[in-house]
């Protein structure tokens, strides 16, 4: 199958391209490199032995997006990763987030309609659940008012997609709600590239251990959890990537139960911040400098996924452990350090 991957040089996109290629799919990447590097295409080719087509393009540019669809006829499916994702930045600069995340999606949908492309997998997020009342959280749990413009773009995008499948016959969408993707490819050739000071836990841990940051602040130690720190459902990015291949196959083979489906992608297990730190220290042998500080505003206390629907319907289950996640993240940080040192 011919699959267009938007945001394909990004963190999750690049891992998904590798898994698509491993299953024999032909991949076209489109990315404006606003949060990734062209070199990722070379790294993908090194891992898979196949160089994906790459188009540097801003999906907010409607005429260029149209030209892209015209250039690549007969696309069987699209996996739409392209979006900005920094929660804090979205609070400071909401218009940038609404414009980029919504316009790029709408232009993609327009292209699908014009060029008769039926299938779209969309990157959504567990952020749509806020702090769920019932854990683990199922797909039919209510969507709650978003904490940030970023989170709101995910909710609005899901609404845009729902309205689109209702209005435009032949359009199928699977929205995948990721929990907390972490880790990197086992080759350490691709991984997450955080810009500036990381907001997310894992890059902050690895950058502290390598000496780029002085100390990790553990946000909140008085939560109503066994060790007082917040709980998340961390999922290895390679497991996450594999689910995208299954989702796109499901649509191209017409196996979907409806034209708009939603799946939680997590492991189904929650780990606290301290448990993540312990795993990191155990698998790497590094001692992490951290301190317990106040809660971070806007953080939920605990959330983890009920993955029954994804397990049963997609036949997919996350396989990699927390130790494998933290070790692969560390190997990736070591590789980044090698690159920094060679500059
Ligand atoms: P990323 O920033 O690494 O990848 C996104 C890619 O999209 C980047 O390469 C960026 O250059 C590109 N891009 C952004 N706007 C674009 C535009 N207008 N035109 C073309 N390319 C554009 O992020 P990621 O972590 O790989 O996330 C991928 C998707 O998954 C995003 O939609 C994100 O919101 C969603 N998501 C991520 C997480 C997470 O924790 N990483 C969790 C839930 C959902
Ligand atoms: C995880 C835990 C922090 C940094 C965010 C987005 C969400 C989704 C995933 C895209 C929390 C704690 C963190 C640090 C810490 N992205 N922490 N010290 O907040 O669950 O979700 O990324 O959709 O939308 O909001 O992930 O990695 O930032 O935090 O103690 O320096 O680690 O408080 O409990 P989060 P995270």
Encode pLDDT of 182-193 as tens digits: 999 999 999 999
d(CA 151, CA 140): 18
* Structure confidence at residue 66 as a pLDDT band (50, 70, 90): very high
pLDDT, mean of residues 139-160: 96
> Is 183 a pocket residue for ligand 1 (Cβ < 6 Å)?
no
d(CA 20, CA 147): 33
Phi-psi region of 2 (alpha: psi -120 to 50; beta: other; left: phi over 0): beta
Whose alpha carbon is nearest atom 41 of ligand 1? 181
**Exactly one of 97, 150, 223, 234 is catalytic; which is it?**
150
What confidence tens digit (pLDDT) does each residue in 106-142 have?
Answer: 999 999 999 999 999 999 999 999 999 999 999 999 9
Residue keyed to tokens 């699209």: 78
The residue with greater pLDDT, 194 or 311, is 311
Which of 69, 120, 75 shows the shortest CA–CA distance to 250? 120
Instruction: Tell how far the Cα of 126 is from the centroid of ligand 1, in angstroms.
Output: 15
> Is 201 a pocket residue for ligand 2 (Cβ < 6 Å)?
yes
pLDDT of residue 187: 98
- The DSSP bridge pattern shows strands 231-232 and 271-272 to be antiparallel
pLDDT of residue 95: 98
pLDDT, mean of residues 44-48: 98
Mean pLDDT of all residues in the chain? 97
> Is 36 a pocket residue for ligand 1 (Cβ < 6 Å)?
yes
Specify the ligand 1 atom closest to the Cα of 58: 19
Contact 72, 2 (CB under 8 A): yes
pLDDT, mean of residues 206-217: 98
d(CA 23, CA 244): 12
Instruction: Tell how far the Cα of 237 is from the centroid of ligand 1, in angstroms.
Output: 13
> Is 261 a pocket residue for ligand 1 (Cβ < 6 Å)?
no
Instruction: Give phi and psi for 35, each to the nearest 5.
Output: -140, 30
Instruction: Give phi and psi for 199, each to the nearest 5.
Output: -90, -30
> Is 316 a pocket residue for ligand 1 (Cβ < 6 Å)?
no
pLDDT of residue 265: 98
Percent of the chain surpassing pLDDT 90 = 98
DSSP-based three-state secondary structure for 27: strand
Query: For helices 322-342 and 201-210, what crossing angle results, to 10°?
Result: 50
Contact 220, 299 (CB under 8 A): yes
Q: Is the pLDDT of residue 343 over 90?
A: no
Q: Is the pLDDT of residue 194 over 90?
A: no
Q: Is the pLDDT of residue 103 over 90?
A: yes
> Distances from the Cα of 273 to the Cαs of 52, 58, 86, 101, in angstroms?
37, 36, 20, 29
Which of 56, 1, 61, 15 shows the shortest CA–CA distance to 32? 56
d(CA 221, CA 231): 11
Q: Which of 5, 9, 11 maximizes ligand 1 atoms within 8 Å of its Cβ, making it the mutation to test the pocket?
A: 11
The DSSP call for residue 302 is: B
Per the annotation, the verdict on 98 as an active-site residue is: no
Which of 315, 233, 243, 303 shows the shortest CA–CA distance to 266? 233
> Distances from the Cα of 287 to the Cαs of 249, 275, 324, in angstroms?
43, 14, 18
pLDDT of residue 114: 97
Number of Cβ within a 10 Å radius of residue 170: 12
Ligand with minimal distance to 193 CA: 1
Q: Is the pLDDT of residue 174 over 90?
A: yes
Instruction: Tell how far the Cα of 136 is from the centroid of ligand 2, in angstroms.
Output: 18
- First-residue to last-residue Cα distance in the chain: 39
Whose alpha carbon is nearest atom 7 of ligand 2? 127
């Amino acid at each position: 199958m011919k699959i267009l991957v938007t945001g394909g040089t990004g963190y999750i996109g690049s891992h998904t391209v590798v898994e698509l290629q491993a299953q024999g799919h032909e991949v076209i990447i489109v990315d404006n490199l606003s949060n990734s590097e062209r070199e990722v295409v070379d790294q993908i080719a090194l891992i898979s032995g196949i160089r994906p087509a790459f188009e540097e393009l801003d999906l907010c540019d409607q005429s260029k997006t149209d030209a892209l669809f015209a250039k690549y006829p007969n696309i069987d499916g699209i996996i739409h990763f392209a979006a900005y994702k920094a929660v804090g930045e979205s609070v400071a600069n909401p218009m940038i987030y609404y414009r980029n995340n919504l316009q790029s999606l709408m232009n993609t949908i327009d292209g699908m309609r014009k060029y008769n492309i039926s299938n779209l997998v969309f990157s959504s997020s567990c952020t749509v659940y806020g702090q769920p009342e019932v854990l683990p959280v199922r797909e039919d749990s209510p969507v709650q008012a978003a904490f940030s413009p970023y989170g709101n773009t995910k909710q609005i995008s899901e609404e845009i997609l729902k309205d689109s499948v209702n209005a435009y016959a032949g359009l199928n969408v699977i929205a995948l709600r990721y929990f907390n993707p972490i880790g990197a490819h086992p080759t350490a050739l691709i991984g997450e590239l955080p810009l500036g000071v990381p907001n997310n836990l894992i890059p902050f841990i690895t950058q502290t251990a390598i000496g780029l940051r002085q100390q990790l602040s553990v946000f909140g130690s008085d939560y109503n959890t066994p060790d007082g720190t917040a709980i998340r459902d961390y999922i290895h990015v390679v497991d996450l990537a594999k689910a995208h291949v299954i989702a796109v196959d499901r649509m191209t083979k017409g196996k979907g139960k409806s034209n708009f489906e939603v799946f939680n992608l997590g492991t189904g297990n929650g780990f606290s911040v301290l448990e993540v730190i312990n795993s990191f220290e155990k698998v790497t042998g590094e001692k992490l400098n951290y301190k317990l500080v106040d809660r971070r505003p806007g953080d939920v206390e605990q959330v983890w996924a009920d993955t029954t629907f994804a397990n049963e319907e997609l036949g997919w289950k996350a396989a990699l452990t927390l130790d494998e996640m933290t070790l692969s993240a560390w190997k990736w940080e070591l590789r980044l350090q090698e690159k920094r040192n060679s500059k």
